[in-house]
Structure 1
Amino acid sequence: MQNRDSVSDGEQAVTGLAGKVEGAAPSLTPVHAASSGSTKAAQPDVDVLTGTLGYALKRAQVRSYEMFFSVVGADAISPGRMTALSLIGMEPGVTQSALAERLAISRAAMVKVIDALESRGFIERRAAEGDRRSYALNLTPEGHQELNVLTHQIRAYEERLAANLSSDERAQLIALLEKVGL
């Protein structure tokens, strides 16, 4: 039984975006009690995260991944690899570098994604015509079959993910996320 693919293997997770908020930063210095002279353990100021876009995106991403794997199964490929598989299916012969650009990940991270998809028999890479330094990516018959199964599961996942949104709210959320470049 194969384990689901991890985020660290070539996917760019939404992390660290909550980072710095102008004029505020979590305080990790010890708090000294004035009256007793005792020192209390430092507690981070988590309120700095409340209402920040980065924190909201990270929480949404975590919940989204939980929903994804609850629908497609724990042994499924990760959402990022599923996206790569889908893009390769939509554009047979796409190069690794073009795919990395579309996914907004580094070329090194792209190699890990491609290696994982290739090891599962979903894609094949061949030297690109006219440029032997580049690889053209194509789905194998197994890749087409996996993508077909995933496509049906993703529809169920999307319905579940947007269950609390009206169709207008869903469209607005997508537009706003595209506006901030995600």
Structure 2
Amino acid sequence: MKKLLLTCCIFFLAIGFAVADTININHFVIKENPFAKDEIAVVATDTAGTIQEAVNGIFTFTINGFSQEMNFDKGTAFYRHKIQKSSFVYARHENDNGTHPMLYYIYKHDSKLTPVKISWILLLSIPLGLILLGYLFKRFIIIALIIFCIFLYFNYHNGLSIPTFFQSVIDGLKGIFVK
């Protein structure tokens, strides 16, 4: 009887150690790929910006509307598509903790890529500011419309479509209320 009890205890203890802890990516940043020209890397970080080197394996990201299986090794995965010109990159990752979106403007200059994170607040404040200025100053309405059209053209020309614009703002608003 004692041998059976000891065997069961050892078996349940081994099962407890065998269960792996799942690793989730809750924060990530986009950086220039140091090993390839005109490519970017997705780096899993914590809230302080430190690389999570425990993140290994395949995770699904949606980048600019296309689903992409990314292979993380020591917290870094490489996006193997060349960036030809400066453009927006909208990356989303969905896991058990929710959806984690990021909007970046990748500025290409001198064969280097400089990612700039775009906040949904800034993205929303520019059109709202133009509307407010047009409302306050009646003579400014035409100029505000011209600036707004230039803003829309710049966004569209660099890969930020209207649905992506609204999706970024909606995901940002969800992030405020879900936390």
TM-score, normalised by the number of residues in structure 1: 0.27
TM-score, normalised by the number of residues in structure 2: 0.27
Relative contact order higher in (CA < 8 Å, ≥ 6 apart): 1
Q: Which has the higher strand share?
A: 2
